[in-house]
Amino acid sequence: MEDRLDEIVRENKTGGPGGVENQSEIEKAVLVGADTGEESNFARSMEELGELAKACGMQVEGMAVQKLDSIHKAFYIGTGKVQEVKEYADALEADIIIFNNSLSPSQLRNLQKEIGRPVMDRTALILDIFSRRAKTREARLQVESARLQYLMSRLVGMHDALTRQGGASGSMSSKGAGEKKLELDRRKIEKRLAALRRELEEVARERKNQSKRREESRIPKVALVGYTNAGKSTLMNAMVEEYLHEEEKKVLEKDMLFATLDTTVRNIDLGCNKKILLSDTVGFIHKLPHTLIKAFQSTLEEVKNADLLLYVVDYSDEEYRQQIKVTEETLLEIGAADIPVIYVYNKSDLCGVPQLPERVGDDKIYMSAKSGQGLAELSGMIVEKVYAEYVQAEFLFPYSEGQKASYFMEHAHVLKQEYMENGIWMKVECHKADMGKYAEYSTARLTCS
């Protein structure tokens, strides 16, 4: 079945069994967009499409744009423009045509027939990148699920063509061979999707157990979020280098879209036993396919369950405000819009900020993760945010309750400690919840930190 599923995916991408896809050679692509005036910065959207194509290992040979009042129902662009794109692609010897928006199944079919070349839309391109980059079992399962959900709608749209292609001549049957093939493919995909859902549920349970253990540790959870290629992994590695000093704990850091797909969590001590669990998550992008957001729900739980979000923004990008808007919209969609935030205006050294770091209030900082300028200041801001619920308290634990003293040594900042005749006396900075939980051992000399 898996071989047939691979064949279905390949046919969908290349425009049918006759399509050619040679991954050993760099594919030459032509980008196509329709500007209806609905996008605030259409030119930037097309530029981003080119970056996505490059991230997928393609070489962008040219671009075709048409201004339209509304999208053409059958071809997305006008029929005259379709012929123009065909001739343009012929002249450039392009291997593939990539459209800047999602195409309906019928549009995809019509365009491939008229242009005579494989056609992809923005959604398929992003799914392809995710498929190439997924490393962990969970990420691979999530991406495969998203791709098959996307493909399912393509099969539905190909219904008429398949029926006409393989109609049962001279037969009384109401179903053609093409339709039977479609139903067979659909059943196989549905069966595989069901298997993927079961596997993802199992992974989600494992992640939930890990989350529960982290919750019990009371270590604050901080998640890096933001646009793809804004510098989240660079910031994660800067924190690892500064506070962990362990090269093997670093994550992949590359100047390309969606370099990171797999969520990584690191336990970092920012000093004075002020620990945080810092997670590096998948980046967001304009027009991120809904199927991907849905498929990555369990991974995005790291974001939903965070105590603090670090919005990493590429301040050197003229469209950084749009990046923030896309991030906020995506967080709203996954149910993480109400979590406290620090805006990290990264790459500020590339755009003339006179003095770095520059802190603005308690939720904004202009810095450079690559050079480390502002790292200490950001760490201080994080501590202020996530340790706001911590207080100073004094406890006296009998020697028979030594495990409770050990708990505070591991989960609190021990300011003073003495071994007295009747037990272990400790002055600690701890969470209010722990102060209440162990109130019976308190010496009642409590001071707010």
For residue 278, list its beta bridge partners. 222, 266
For residue 411, which phi and psi values (nearest 5 degrees)? -115, 5
Query: What share of the chain has pLDDT > 70, as a percent?
Result: 83
pLDDT at 444: 60
What pLDDT is stored for residue 308 in this prediction?
Answer: 95
For the chain, give the mean pLDDT. 82
Could you state, in order of their start, the residue ranges of all structural domains in the chain? 2-133, 137-204, 218-386, 390-441
Number of Cβ within a 10 Å radius of residue 353: 18
pLDDT at residue 294, rounded to an integer = 72
Compare 418 and 299 and report the one with higher pLDDT. 418
Q: How far apart are CA 269 and CA 244, in angstroms?
A: 8
pLDDT, tens digit, for every residue of 156-185?
A: 544 443 343 344 444 434 455 555 677 788
Half-sphere exposure of 196 (CA within 13 A, CB side): 22
Q: What is the pLDDT of residue 420?
A: 92
- Position 12 scores a pLDDT of 46
pLDDT at res. 202:
87
Closest listed residue to residue 303, CA positions, set 283, 317, 275: 283
Q: How far apart are CA 210 and CA 415, in angstroms?
A: 30
pLDDT class of 205 with cuts at 50, 70, 90: confident
Q: Write the CATH number of the domain with boundaries 218-386.
A: 3.40.50.300
Q: What is the structure's pLDDT at 414? A: 87
CA distance linking residue 361 with residue 20, whole number of Å:
56
Q: Which two tokens stand for residue 11?
A: 């046919």
- Where is mean pLDDT largest: 87-101, 128-142, 401-415? 87-101
Q: Report the pLDDT averaged over residues 238-265.
A: 78
Residues 6+ apart with CB under 8 A from 350: 315, 316, 368
Q: Within a 13 Å sphere around the CA of 256, how many CA atoms are in the beta-carbon half? A: 17
Query: Higher confidence at residue 97 or residue 6?
Result: 97
Phi, psi of 420 (to 5 degrees): -100, 175
Look at residue 218 in the predicted model and tell me its pLDDT: 72
pLDDT in tens, 69-126: 999 999 999 999 999 999 999 999 999 999 999 898 889 889 999 999 999 999 889 8
pTM (two decimals)? 0.73
The verdict on whether omega for the bond into residue 289 sits within 30 degrees of 0, i.e. cis, is no
Whether 46 has a pLDDT exceeding 50, the answer reads: yes
d(CA 37, CA 14): 30
- The values of phi and psi at residue 250, to 5°, are -75, 160
Confidence category of residue 41, pLDDT binned at 50, 70, 90: confident
Other C-beta atoms lying within 10 Å of the C-beta of residue 228: 25
How far, in Å, CA of 134 to CA of 381, rounded? Answer: 33
pLDDT at 140 over 50: yes
Residue with more model confidence, 18 or 305 = 305
3-state SS class at 69: coil
Which of 263, 267, 242 has the alpha carbon at shortest distance from 251? 263
Residue 143 has pLDDT above 60, yes or no: yes
Q: How far from the centroid of its chain's Cα atoms is residue 29's Cα?
A: 25
Six-digit token string for 435: 């102060």
Query: What average pLDDT does range 346-365 have in this prediction?
Result: 90
402, pLDDT greater than 80:
yes
Tens of pLDDT, residue by residue over 416-439, are: 999 999 999 999 988 888 888 999
The most confident of 51-65, 145-159, 346-360, by mean pLDDT:
51-65
Q: Per-residue confidence at 410, pLDDT binned at 50, 70, 90?
A: confident
Has residue 247 got a pLDDT over 60? yes
CATH 3.40.1350 is the classification of domain 390-441:
no
> How confident is the model over 279-290, as a mean pLDDT?
81
Task: For CA atoms 431, 434, 440, 441, give the dihedral sign.
Answer: negative
State the pLDDT at residue 174: 45
Please give the pLDDT value at position 93.
93
Strands laid side by side in the 221-226 sheet: 264-269, 275-280, 221-226, 308-314, 341-346, 364-366, 358-360
Q: Read off the pLDDT band of 61 (50, 70, 90).
A: very high
Q: How far is CA 36 from the centre of its chain?
A: 28
Homologous superfamily of 2-133: GTPase HflX, N-terminal domain (3.40.50.11060)
AA letter at 224: L
Say what the pLDDT of residue 252 is: 66
Tokens of 401: 């309750």
Q: Which residues contact 364 (CB under 8 A, 6 or more apart)?
A: 342, 343, 345
Poorest-pLDDT segment among 41-50, 245-254, 379-388: 245-254
Q: Nearest 5°: phi and psi at 240?
A: -60, -45
Residue 19 predicted with pLDDT over 90: no
pLDDT value, residue 13 = 46
Which pLDDT score is estimated for 59? 94
User: What three-state secondary structure class fits 345?
Assistant: strand
Per-residue pLDDT at 161: 38
Give 297 or 187, the one with higher predicted confidence. 187
CA distance 146 to 141: 9
pLDDT at 248: 79
> What is the band of 217 on the pLDDT scale with cuts at 50, 70, 90?
low
Domains 2-133 and 218-386 share a fold: yes
Q: Which of 278, 247, 271 is nearest to 376 (CA)?
A: 271
Return the pLDDT at 367: 95
Backbone angles phi, psi at 304, to 5 degrees: -60, -30
